[in-house]
Amino acid sequence: MSSARTHLDRLWRRGRDFLGTEVAIMGGAMSWVSERHLVAAISNAGGFGVLACGSMPPALLAAEIEATQQLTARPFGVNLITMHPQLAELIEVCGRLKVGHVVLAGGLPQANAIGRAKALGAKVVCFAPTVLFGKKLVRLGADALIIEGTEAGGHIGPVATSVLVQEILPAVGEVPVFVAGGIGRGEAILSCLEMGAAGVQLGTRFVCARECIAHANFKQAFIRANARDAVPSTQVDPNFPVIPVRALVNTASRRFIAFQHEVIGRFRNGEIDQKTAQLEIEHYWAGALRKAVIDGDVENGSLMAGQSVGMVTREQTTVEIITELVEQAVRALAARESVEAVL
C-alpha cells in the first residue's frame, strides 16, 4: 500500500504543488454551503476549500474571508462570479486580504479581471467548457483550469465529464487542469489523474460533512436521494429559455413546469410582454437555495445536487470524507500492482 500511496502522490503532485495542499481535492463553491466552516474544514483536512462569494457585496466577502482565516492557516480559494456588478471591488478585497487563489466562474472572464487578480498576488483558476475556451483562458493568463461535466450540481453545461476529459486533458497541458462533475469515489479521482488531470473538484460529496452548516433536512434529502433524482431544470418552451440547473426533484421543481406554462399562457393572451414573462420565469427560483440550505424547506426550496448524490449515504466529518476518497484510490492502485506482480 505504501508504494500505491507514493504512486498516487506522484500522479497529483502538480495539483498539490499548485494548491499548496496534501491532496489535490478542491471543494466546489456552493452558495450558502461553501462558507467559512466547510471551507476551513476542507483545507484543515488536507484538501483545498473554496469560498463561494455568490452575490455577496465586498464588505460581506471581506468579513467571510477574515472569518475563514481565523479557522484555518492553510490555503483556500475564493470563487467570484464574473457577472457580479462589483467584480472589480471583490478582486481588490481578495488582494487586500492576501487570498492565494481566485476562481472566476459563471462565464468567460475579461483579461483585465484575470490580470488584476494576478497583479494582486493571486493564482487565477477559470472554468473551461471547451478546448477552444481553455486555450483562450490560458492566453489571457489563467494559471489553472477546471473542466466540469453536466453531472455536476447547480448550473451545468451540456457535455459529460467523461467526454470533457478526453477532449481537453490531452489538448491543454500548459497549466494544471482540475476535473469536476459526478466524482464521488477515489477510483474516479484516480481515473482522472491517470488521464492527465492535476486534481479534482467535488461539491455534492461535501454537503453532508459534519462541519457543513446546511440544515439537517437538506442533508437528509441528499442521503435519501439517488443519482436519478438529480435532474436538470425543465424548459417547456424554447422561446423562453431556462438556464439548466441540476437539482433534486421536489415540489418546487414540479411546480416550476406548471408555472412556466401559466406565465407563457399569459403572454400568449396578451396580458404581459415577452420580456416580462421571461423575467418572471427567471425570478421563480429567487431565494430558493437559501430556503432549502438554511431554512430547511426541502419541498419549496432548491436542492441543487450533482448525480454523485447517490454516493452520499451518511453524515461524516470532512477528514473522514477525504480519507475515504484517498483510501479508495490507493486500494485501486494497490490491487492493480498486485495483478501486475503476478503477471
Tens of pLDDT, residue by residue over 56-98, are 999 999 999 999 999 999 999 999 999 999 999 999 999 999 9
Q: CA–CA separation, 204 vs 309, rounded Å?
A: 6
CA 191 – CA 195 distance, rounded (Å): 6
pLDDT of 2 reads 81
Cβ(24)–Cβ(199) below 8 Å: yes
* pLDDT for 71: 98
| Percent of the residues in the chain that have a pLDDT greater than 70, as a whole number | 98
Domains of the chain: 2-202+313-342 (3.20.20.70), 216-308 (no CATH)
d(CA 132, CA 120): 27
Report yes or no: 69 and 40 within 8 Å, Cβ to Cβ: no
Contacts of 60 (CB under 8 A, 6+ apart): none
CB 190 within 8 A of CB 329: yes
Mean pLDDT, range 126-142, rounded to an integer: 97
Q: Is 284 exposed, middle or buried (0-12, 13-18, 19+ CB in 10 A)?
A: middle
The mean per-residue pLDDT over the stretch 7-34 comes to 97
Strands 199-202 and 177-180: parallel
Mean pLDDT of 129-138: 97
- Looking at residue 260, its pLDDT comes to 96
Q: Are 168 and 196 in contact (CB under 8 A)?
A: no
Determine the average pLDDT of the residues in 98-105.
98
Q: Is the pLDDT of residue 238 over 90?
A: yes
Compute the distance between CA of residue 149 and CA of residue 129 in angstroms, rounded to an integer.
Answer: 8
Q: What's residue 341's pLDDT? A: 65
CA atoms of 148 and 201, how far apart (whole Å): 9
Strands (E) across 49-96 are located at 49-52, 76-81
Q: Cα–Cα distance between 52 and 226 in angstroms, integer?
A: 25
Q: Could you tell me the sign of the dihedral formed by the alpha carbons of 195, 198, 203, 204, in that order? A: positive
Instruction: Say how far residue 67 (Cα) sits from the centre of its chain.
Output: 21
Predicted local confidence at residue 1, as pLDDT: 63
What is the total residue count of the chain?
343
Task: Tell me: pLDDT of 343 over 80.
Answer: no
Give CA–CA dist 220/203, Å, rounded: 16
Give the pLDDT of residue 107: 87
| 296 Cβ contact partners less than 8 Å away, ≥ 6 residues apart | 215, 216, 217, 218
Query: Between β-strands 154-155 and 245-248, what pairing exists: parallel, antiparallel or unpaired?
Result: antiparallel
Per-residue model confidence as pLDDT tens digits over 240-275: 999 899 999 999 999 999 999 999 999 999 999 999
Residue 336 has pLDDT above 90, yes or no: no
The pLDDT score that the predictor gives to residue 85 is 95
